[in-house]
Amino acid sequence: MTPLSNEEQTAILVFKRLSRFIEGYDIQKELESLLSDFKNTEKLKMNGLGKYYIKLKEKVIKENKIGLIAYGITISDLQNKSLGIYTTSTNNKINLNLKTICRYLRKDYFTTEEIKDLCFKTPNFHLYYNQFKIE
């Protein structure tokens, strides 16, 4: 697993700090809401898992939420809620938990350059950028 870049860490910080400015904002609930389409395992099985990853990628791009995906990769085991079990056509079972969905989306659906570009498009990104510069 590739470590998170300076840009991804900054995008996470933007989302973590939103609770200071938006009353009732909860980054964990926001992540669960973003990934809620993965709860309906029957629909997933009918339409294929890949279709939902493509739809999630489009939503992340449209809503500037790459920081939430990066956050999902860093959550603890206690925060890592399971959304369901997906059974493949070859009868393999995949636990669809928050961290796994985020990791897989980042690894297989985004290029490094796309992630970097999306991080820079995150609102207020420039306020926090360079706090995580790697020497």
* 76 found inside a domain: yes
Residue 110 C-alpha from the chain's centroid: 11
Question: pLDDT above 70 covers what percent of the chain?
Answer: 96
Q: What digits encode the pLDDT tens for the residues 89-134?
A: 899 999 999 999 999 999 999 999 999 999 999 998 998 887 655 5
Q: DSSP string of 107-118?
A: HHH--HHHHHHH
User: Phi/psi zone of residue 100: left (φ > 0), alpha (ψ -120 to 50 degrees), beta?
Assistant: alpha
Domain range for 36:
6-128
Residue type, 7: E
* 134 found inside a domain: no
Q: How many domains does the chain have?
A: 1
* 71 found inside a domain: yes
pTM over 0.85: yes
Residue 135: its pLDDT value, please? 47
* 1 found inside a domain: no
Which pLDDT band, with edges at 50, 70 and 90, does 18 fall under? Answer: confident
Q: Is residue 84 helix, strand or coil?
A: strand
